[in-house]
Amino acid sequence: MVEVTDRPRRLLYIVNHRTLMPAEVPMLMELGWEVFCPKIVPSHDPGFRSALVTREYDSSLTIPKEALDVLNSQDFYERSWSSTVRHVAGRYFDVIINHFSYYSVPVSEAARHFPGLVVLRTFGREHPSRYAEFAEIGPRKSVLDELDALGSRLVHAQGYANIADIEPPVLQRTAMTVTVPLPPYIYASANTWRGGGKEAVLLCPAIMAAGGQSYYGNIYRGIKRDFGDLPHVIFGRQPEPVNDPAVLPYLTDPELLDLYARAPVFIYPSAEPRHIHYSPIEAMVVGTPVLYRRGSLTDTLAEGADLPGACADTAEMRDKAQRLLAGDSNLAEAIRATQGRIVDTFSSDLARRQWEAVLGRAP
């Protein structure tokens, strides 16, 4: 059992996402929790291109230095817990928040050895993939059974309300929706859109992964097929060079926000029903007119509203993009005036209330 004392409430936050951490960890601390974040991530894996490691939250922890040293030297993503790690986690912490991914070791170890509340953080996978598949392809084949054994000590904190719909019973019955908040620096650029740019903006990272035959390689070919004749630029982190002058080099956060602010249109053709990138939401905060697919998760987040940025198909998306590139201010303002409905579903206030409900279940 978790040791019952009057000590501060603490949680292990095994997520390490470069955009989510600056938004979510300070929020958890504001709710009264001390937070530890791992210092070792699978940096050898290009799939972890969005990882962040920081020590800025260590100073708020009131655990002994020796215990902090144990945690800082632990590879939570790929290494089993030693008896010392089990002791530190069980004695000083009440909750573990784990990103559920191929790296199922931290989820499995928490389920097997941690006496407190175990929270799975999910953000949706590309259709038709399911999180349950990580029990088949990841290193811990029994992870779903281990999670099922936790009973009321398990919460599946899904970023969107439809993620659990296609998952096995253990992830369905424990699901609580906790929205994905945006970091404060994004809101600092709210409503700074000025337009004036001549090129549509599209997102596609990791184009040349697996020799260009990966998920994003297919997305890139679709972009070039459907919008390649329009003036456009493509941004996104590229581990390997791409032989296309439309693909931008790596952009810093200020440079990316400026790109949004200048763009006449952000085209987001994703049809994914349970996954969305941060980028179109960031652009909406800035005020950039964003075009998206009806039936996608972006559309679902509009909660039934048929907004001007929604497009039924490629033909409608091309038509609206061409109008915006030509300076159609009426369409631009109609989109800008209504897309805040989608942005509101990522509200920090909403996320804070949802986290309070989840963490209120800790022993």
What's the angle, vertex CA 323, arms to CA 320 and CA 327, rounded to 5? 140
CA 255, 256, 258, 259 torsion-angle sign: positive
Would you state the pLDDT for residue 5? Answer: 56
Residue 336, H or E segment: helix 329-338
CA nearest 96: which of 39, 143, 157?
A: 157
Q: 291: which residues sit within 8 A by CB, 6+ positions away?
A: 265, 266, 267, 268, 269, 309, 311, 317, 320, 321, 324, 335
pLDDT, residue 92, reads 98
CA distances from 265 to 221, 223, 301, 320, 326 (A): 20, 14, 20, 9, 10
Give the residues of the chain that fall short of pLDDT 50. 1-4
Domains of the chain: 9-181+347-359 (3.40.50), 185-346 (3.40.50.2000)
Please measure the distance between the N-terminal and C-terminal CA atoms of the chain and give it in whole angstroms: 9
